[in-house]
Amino acid sequence: MRFEDVLGHDNLKNKLLKSAKEGRVSHAQLFHGPAGNGALLLAIAYAQYLSCSNKSEEDSCGSCSSCKQFLSFNYPDLHFIYPVAKTQKSGDKPKSADFIEDWREIIKSEKYFGLFRWLEYLGVENKQAQISVHESSSILKNLSLKSYSGSFKFMIIWMPERMNGSSANKLLKVIEEPPEKTIFLLVSENTEAILQTISSRCQKILVPRYGTREIEEYLIDNEDVSQQSAHIVAKLSEGNLAQALNQAKRSEAYKDYAIHFSSWMRSCFKADTKEIIAWVKEMAKLEREKLKDFLLFCSSIIKDSFNLNYIIPEVNNETFKEIKFELSKFSPFIHLKNTSSIMQIIDSGIYDIGRNGNPKVILTDISLNLARQLRVKY
């Protein structure tokens, strides 16, 4: 993984290159920021650059023996720890090493992926994944070995916030007294959930979310997505490239989403309980990720309606033409007195769906709250 293989983040790449050239490489670094920001790929590219025997000013060479091994993610001094769950393959004490081939394959084939996609790839999306205390022995064993290359050894820990207490405390001891020439690269989406004593011992590297235009161009250039679909998906993703890639695969569903949204809003505005219950029963059949996609789609329509009314009147139906949704007909129902409440209602629903809440209960609650808000007069 070279820096040129990672989308955007040019300023951050330059800072990492500068630290390497000046020999100011901290033994523990925490790449953090919102989901889908490419932080894992940056950490891998940084490790490859430090290991490259023929690096340039801008990137690793991609052709030396170290770079070739990084290409398949089997460089002997590169170690990974990541959340896992119990499967038939792992037995009762699952460890990262049990799934290393799956891990290498998903990075090679998908690059930008999130935790749900990783668990889906393993077939354990309905289980709670964590980094357990059983990983500690693997960490200690791998780092106690002599460096194969004579250079740095790397321990990349993806989602350290998923460490349980025992595992986190053992990692802390290793970070406090690291083996020689060992570099810990932690990649997190939620630093507040990391043991504070671990976080405080790491150099923090903020990896920002991607811009809408960056994602839109990436989808058009790399995923064979039409410009209008790419525009919709990029807006819905809110800077999360992993989410955008998943949504792009389902972009055809947006026509259905528009129909579901229109039907839902009519039922809520009429406060027709029978229609709402029938709608909820049907929508609750969707997979959890599709349901989250739908609610994100709804959130985007609310935002664009507000923009059309108050901020950017030229935000017209162009974005939604492909899915046959007329924003101008819905936007009059969105105004200064209800927009904030409606957004909070939908965002809360997205959060609850992500936390494995009951879809019927969540959608019913959202619907009843929306019924009240849509009838608020401006």
Task: Give the long-range contacts of residues 302-305, CB within 8 A, separation 24 or more.
Answer: 302/334, 302/339, 302/342, 302/343, 302/346, 303/343, 304/331, 305/330, 305/331, 305/333, 305/334
Closest CA to 373 of 261, 240, 271: 271
Strand segments, DSSP code E, in 38-89 are 78-81
Interatomic CA distance for residues 220 and 233, integer angstroms = 11
Spatial separation of the C-alpha atoms in residues 68 and 335, rounded to whole Å: 57
Sequential pLDDT tens for the chain (378 residues): 999 999 999 999 999 999 999 999 999 999 999 989 999 999 999 999 999 999 999 999 999 999 999 999 989 999 999 999 888 776 778 889 899 999 999 999 989 998 888 888 888 766 778 888 888 777 777 777 777 776 889 999 999 999 888 888 888 888 888 888 899 999 999 999 898 999 999 999 999 999 999 999 999 998 888 887 788 888 878 899 988 888 777 666 777 888 899 999 999 999 999 999 999 999 999 888 789 889 988 998 898 888 888 876 655 455 565 555 677 788 899 999 999 999 999 999 998 987 888 999 999 999 999 999 999 988
Please, what are the domains in the chain?
3-209 (3.40.50.300), 252-374 (1.20.272)
What does each C-alpha distance from 309 to 315, 329, 374, 375 come to in angstroms?
9, 11, 15, 17
Alpha helices (H) along 93-240: 100-110, 115-122, 135-144, 165-176, 196-199, 212-222, 227-237
The one-letter amino acid at 222: N
Q: How far apart are CA 212 and CA 240, in angstroms?
A: 9
Of 311, 323, 316, 207, the residue nearest 260 (C-alpha)? 323
Angle at 140 between CA 139 and CA 144, to 5 degrees: 120
Instruction: Please tell me the distance from the alpha carbon of residue 61 to that of residue 48, in angstroms, as a whole number.
Output: 9
Confidence (pLDDT) at 316: 47
What distances in angstroms separate CA 294 from CA 132, 230, 376, one per listed residue?
A: 34, 16, 24
The alpha carbon of 138 is separated from its chain's Cα centroid by a whole number of angstroms, namely 26
* Tokens found for residue 164: 């349980």
CA distance 191 to 344: 24
Of the candidates 98, 92, 6, 91, the residue with the CA atom closest to the CA atom of residue 44: 6
Bridge partners of residue 214, in order along the sequence:
none
What's the distance, CA 5 to chain centroid?
Answer: 18
For residue 117, give every residue at least 6 positions away whose Cβ sits within 8 Å of its Cβ, in sequence order, or none: 106, 110, 242, 246
Q: Widest CA span of the chain, in angstroms? A: 71
What pTM, to 2 d.p., does this model score? 0.76
Q: Residue 84 phi/psi, 5° resolution?
A: -140, 170
For residues 311 and 303, what is the distance between their CA atoms, to the nearest angstrom?
Answer: 10
Among candidates 127, 114, 131, which has minimal Cα distance to 237? 114
Distance separating alpha carbons of residues 350 and 369, to the nearest angstrom: 14
Closest alpha carbon to 362 in 374, 372, 349: 349
Give me the residue label for tokens 């309606």.
305
Q: Could you tell me the two tokens for 300?
A: 């985007």
195, 286, 237, 311: which is closest to 34 by C-alpha? 237
Q: Find residue 157's DSSP bridge partners.
A: 81, 186
Alpha-carbon dihedral sign for residues 34, 50, 83, 248: positive
